[in-house]
């Protein structure tokens, strides 16, 4: 039985992954920004769901404190799935949306990986980053989104090399899905 933590688990790819891993018998821990009252209480229980808005600077500490409260000392798999997809010409985008894109799509996975590293190392875990084909396929109206995904890819590539060199046993994988029928699209 594996312990899996998935960010952005309340809908779309994250929810599909949570359902799949749970059906396979894994202990599935989910992180999302939605309040528990807006979610299915049979699936999102206090023991399996941590409400944390990854756009906020204290999110990694909230997740760590929640894992501590649940008595979860190690993670076998961490899936960084949470993401925002604001699009539009840079000149007309709201500055708060631009900041949120960088915070959720890039900063949160880096900060959360850092905060959870001891738990990952204990299990010699796999850390998966859900990126996007957009990281390599620039297009109009996606400049900031594409930049966050390209930067995430760069971080994951370099962290993978670092982890190989330090012998921690933690591995890194990046997945590049195309457009998926989710709330983002």
Residues annotated catalytic, as ranges: 145
* C-alpha 168, offset from chain centre: 21
| Residue found under tokens 């799949």 | 20
31: its two tokens: 């992180």
Task: Find the angle CA(155)-CA(135)-CA(174) to the nearest 5 degrees.
Answer: 50
6: left (phi over 0), alpha (psi -120 to 50) or beta: beta
Residues 6+ apart with CB under 8 A from 177: 13, 130, 132, 133
Residues 6+ apart with CB under 8 A from 84: 55, 97, 100, 101, 104, 105, 145, 184
Select from 106, 44, 113 the least CA-distant residue to 79.
Answer: 113
């Amino acid at each position: 039985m594996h312990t899996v933590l998935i960010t952005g688990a309340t809908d779309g790819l994250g929810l599909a992954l949570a359902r799949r891993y749970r059906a396979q018998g894994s202990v599935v821990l989910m992180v999302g920004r939605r309040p528990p009252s807006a979610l299915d209480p049979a699936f999102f229980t206090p023991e399996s769901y941590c409400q944390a808005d990854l756009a906020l600077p204290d999110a990694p500490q909230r997740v760590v404190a929640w894992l501590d409260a649940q008595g979860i000392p190690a993670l076998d798999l961490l899936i960084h799935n949470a993401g925002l997809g604001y699009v539009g010409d840079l000149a007309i985008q709201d500055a708060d949306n631009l900041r949120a894109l960088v915070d959720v799509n890039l900063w949160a996975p880096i900060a959360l990986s850092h905060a959870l590293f001891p738990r990952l190392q204990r299990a010699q875990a796999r850390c998966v980053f859900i990126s996007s084909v957009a990281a390599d396929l620039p297009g109009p109206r996606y400049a900031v989104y594409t930049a966050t995904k390209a930067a995430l890819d760069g971080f994951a590539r370099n962290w993978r090399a670092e982890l190989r060199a330090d012998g921690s046993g933690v591995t890194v994988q990046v997945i590049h899905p195309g457009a998926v029928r989710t709330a983002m699209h």
